[in-house]
Amino acid sequence: MILTKLPRTLFCLTAAIFLSTAALADHHGGDHESSIKMIDSNTFGIDASEIQSIREQMQAAVDGGFVSGNIILVGNDEGVGVLETVGTQGPKQTTEMNDQTLFRIYSMTKPIVSVATMSLVEDGLISIADPVSKYIPEFANMQVINEETGEITAAKNEMTVQHLLTHESGLIYGIFDPESDLGRQYFQSGSLRFDITALELAQNLAALPLRFEPGTKWNYSRSTDVLGAVIEVAAGKPLDALLNERIFNPLGMDETTFYVDESKADRIANPIHGDMEDPLNVRPMLSGGGGLHSTTEDYVRFANMLLNGGEYNGARILSEATLKSMQQKFIGDEVNRDAFFFGPTGDWGLGFHLQPIPGADNDGPFNFGWQGVGGTVFIVDPVNNFFMLYMAQVRGGPRGAPMDLTLSQRAVYEAMLD
């Protein structure tokens, strides 16, 4: 069945659970009111026993050595009904994970940059039909490589801003395809460097062939990094200033930045396995595809804005019509989806995944959002009027965690549907 009406039976959560989460919500590093106002979890059809079950799975992930700590949150415009935090911020840290812990959110940067792009569209500063070469001339006269034969031919289709938003650009991620000839060319072009700007990275990538004709396939890629460079040119300002102006300042997201001030070092989450980039190391790269750091409390503001039709706390970021246009199916039946993470299921919009909600088919309705390779995810479900966040910090390690960015979504939906 499609979950459309959640039970509204109200009864008190245990005092321990409610007081612990409320205490977390009271703290905020900025000078404004927290985005986390606790309400009864039954607003979402989730009772105390179901919260306890979710918490046990989170604790099992910590006890099993998969993560040092994790956070799960479910809310809507009325408030937050579920906020559970387990464990510590890192393997050598004693500070408990909380709503002010700073995470490398990696690709959860992409929806933010996509929203900023569409705000520029609304203001007439850019069009999704524009060729990328209008802003970065090096993308004119692109070539396409046949990786089976090595043959390189002139591209027939011109790469557009829409292709960047939908990952149909012909670009790739070298780190996800290190064995291919094109993947090696990406490494050689400096695709992993932080000592160059996003525009310089885009110009380097423009000198390489595309994997396919723009608009013909979906392939996760450096598209949003290039998009970040495009909107810097279109707006005439650096990406950090642009995001501050159009998203972060209006929403009060004062903890979401490309690099973290040293005064906040003790709030940075770290993985048990492997190493991650040091958020304190400020460099020229402002990666639109994966460079931001944020807190759970801060990202609630962005997710709530999306659930509320483009507005949060009186600040309108996008019109409802523009936001709805971003949730349309852009892969469709004509685009090759062999590389699509979800196979035949779901689709892709202008910067978001589109996944059928429980009980729906591939015509929808969908939730939308995206995840970060470091263990974070958010989804927004307008039909059932909620958003959720799962925040952890992972880099490799053993498989089979009892709670992660995928299982968290399943756990929330199962609790609502029970």
Which domains, and CATH codes, for the chain?
A: 1-98+401-418 (no CATH), 99-353+360-384 (3.40.710.10)
d(CA 196, CA 286): 9
The secondary element (H helix, E strand) that includes residue 225 is helix 223-235
pLDDT per position as a tens digit, 204-243: 999 999 999 999 999 999 999 999 999 999 999 999 999 9
352 token code pair: 């978001």
Residues 83 and 99 sit within 8 Å (Cβ to Cβ): yes
pLDDT per position as a tens digit, 242-293: 999 999 999 999 999 999 999 999 999 999 999 999 999 999 999 999 999 9
Task: Report CA 180 to chain centroid distance, whole Å.
Answer: 27
Task: Note the pTM of the prediction, 2 decimals.
Answer: 0.93
The mean pLDDT of the chain is 92
Query: Where residue 10 falls among pLDDT bands split at 50, 70, 90?
Result: very low
Query: Where residue 12 falls among pLDDT bands split at 50, 70, 90?
Result: very low
What does 102-139 look like in DSSP terms, one character per residue? EEE-GGGHHHHHHHHHHHHHHTTS--TTSBGGGTSGGG
Residues contacting residue 94 through CB under 8 Å, at least 6 positions apart: 88
Q: Is the pLDDT of residue 9 over 90?
A: no
pLDDT per position as a tens digit, 45-84: 999 999 999 999 999 999 999 999 999 999 999 999 999 9
Q: Is the pLDDT of residue 15 over 80?
A: no
Q: Cα–Cα distances in Å, from 37 out to 167, 222, 346?
A: 36, 37, 32
